[in-house]
């Protein structure tokens, strides 16, 4: 999961087709876990206590915005807001 969200604050897919392709990786991985084949994707995520990759990217984007606003990264917030 972490490999798919690496640098998501720099690269974050915004096209539906790119989001679906990225999410497909986690969908296929969780389906191959022992005992999870017959569950739908949402149920697999719930049983594994995992958020969707789209939700993780949103969380990471919000965290990065927080860091920009409060000067925790070396960027000028006036360039963004």
Q: Domain boundaries in the chain?
A: 17-50, 51-81
Residues 6 or more apart whose CB falls under 8 angstroms from that of 56 comprise 1, 5, 8
pLDDT digits (tens, 9 = 90+) for 47-59: 999 998 888 888 8
What mean pLDDT, rounded, does the chain reach? 83
The size of the chain, in residues, is 81
- Among 44, 4, 40, 8, CA closest to 22: 4
What was the pLDDT predicted at 74? 84
- pTM for this entry: 0.67
Q: Is 79 exposed, middle or buried, given 0-12, 13-18 or 19+ CB atoms closer than 10 A?
A: exposed
Residue 5's CB is within 10 A of a number of other CB atoms, namely: 17
């Amino acid at each position: 999961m972490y490999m798919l969200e690496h640098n998501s604050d720099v690269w974050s897919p915004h096209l539906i087709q790119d989001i679906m392709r990225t999410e497909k990786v986690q969908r296929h991985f969780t389906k191959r876990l022992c005992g999870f084949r017959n569950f739908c994707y949402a149920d697999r995520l719930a049983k594994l206590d995992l958020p969707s990759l789209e939700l993780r990217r949103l969380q990471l984007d919000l965290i990065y915005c927080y860091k920009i606003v409060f000067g925790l990264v070396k960027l000028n917030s006036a360039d963004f807001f």
